Amino acid sequence: MSPPKVFASQADLDQKVVSFTRLSDNAYAYTAQGDPNTGVIVGDDAVMVVDTQATPVMARDVIRRIREVTDKPIKYVVLSHYHAVRVLGASGYEPEHIIASRDTYDLIRERGEADKASEIGRFPRLFQAVESVPPGLTWPTITFTGRMSLWLGQLEVQLIQLGRGHTKGDTVAWLPEQKILFSGDLVEFDATPYAGDAYFKDWPQTLDNLAALQPRALVPGRGAALTTPDQVAQGLAGTRAFISDLYASVRAGVEAGKDLNTVYRETVARLRPTYGHWVIFDHCMPFDVTRAYDEATQYPDPRVWTAQRDVEMWNALES
């Protein structure tokens, strides 16, 4: 009999190699072999950071890379969504403003403390020097609904909500003149989408809305920067296929009257041949299938994950 899997990503202790990829004179991607990405936008008079890393100490390496290409002040931090691994490093940049959708602000207020404890428990390596995170939560200073533009000198940056997917507050950053997109976790590349707070029914259409922008380059939430239209199409198609395949499997199980444990085992077996080599597949699947089962049954909106609920769910599905 196989031993039970180690909880979430607690066994993932290997440091990853960081890349800082130039997409244009104004756009860079900070990526690390499937760890959470950070986008950097260099304007005429200021720098914008899209997603922050998990702690202020981890943000220092992003700042070091930024200082290799510009000495302009880092005035803006954009939160693509509310997850702790994306937002708790914000203070390290000492920005003038932290910007998020109003939906993301509401999610921070509703479940930020629970999510913080939950994610730190799941991803110990991704919260290096967690003691450097200031007490409390990371709060936006500017919120918007739908769409807003910021001008970094002559460079326009559009922040857009194109639909629900990874969360209900998902925001993309878009450089319309250069057709470069920073997608947050709406798109992953060779990395398993985390869908514990997702809207499976909406996510494929949201990806179609991203594709309609016709990006020539894209910085996904995880995975390498996509630097050609063909790579962008691959990233969109791969994420869409995973979300659609997983939800179709779960819905079929629900319609057949199967319980969550059975649906989980069958869905993992069905998806592993195609997606099992993707980063954090084993971590994500219990959370993803649980959320899909919820959405297919009685919970149109995601339930709050707590550190206790994480462990109870994991033990129920993996023991």
Quickly state the pLDDT bin for 1 (edges 50, 70, 90).
Answer: very low
User: pLDDT tens digit string along 34-84?
Assistant: 899 999 999 999 999 999 999 999 999 999 999 999 999 999 999 999 999
User: pLDDT tens digit string along 242-297?
Assistant: 999 999 999 999 999 999 999 999 999 999 999 999 999 999 999 999 999 999 99
User: Position 55: which residue type?
Assistant: T
User: pLDDT tens digit string along 199-234?
Assistant: 999 999 999 999 999 999 999 999 999 999 999 999
Q: Residue 267: which region, alpha, beta or left (left: phi > 0; alpha: psi -120 to 50)?
A: alpha
In the predicted structure, residue 313 carries a pLDDT above the cut 60: yes
Q: Which pLDDT value is given to residue 6?
A: 61
- Domain coordinates of the chain in residue numbers? 19-318
Quickly state the pLDDT bin for 319 (edges 50, 70, 90).
Answer: confident
CATH assignment, 19-318: 3.60.15.10
User: Position 285: which residue type?
Assistant: M
In three-state form (DSSP H/G/I as H, E/B as E, the rest C), the secondary structure along the chain is CCCCCCCCCCCCCCCCCCEEEECCCCEEEEEECCEEEEEEEECCCCEEEECCCCCHHHHHHHHHHHHCCCCCCEEEEECCCCCHHHHCCHHHHCCCEEEEEHHHHHHHHHHHHHHHHHHHHHCHHHHCCHHHCCCCCCCCCEEECCEEEEEECCEEEEEECCCCCCCCCCCEEEECCCCEEEEECCCCCCECCCCCCCCCCCHHHHHHHHHHCCCCEEEECECCCECCHHHHHHHHHHHHHHHHHHHHHHHHHHHCCCCHHHHHHHHHHHHHHHHCCCECHHHHHHHHHHHHHHHHHCCCCCCCCCHHHHHHHHHHHHC
User: pLDDT tens digit string along 102-157?
Assistant: 999 999 999 999 999 999 988 888 898 999 999 999 999 999 999 999 999 999 99
Q: Which pLDDT value is given to residue 125?
A: 85
Chain CA centroid to CA 32, Å: 14
In the predicted structure, residue 311 carries a pLDDT above the cut 50: yes
Predicted TM-score (pTM) of this structure: 0.94
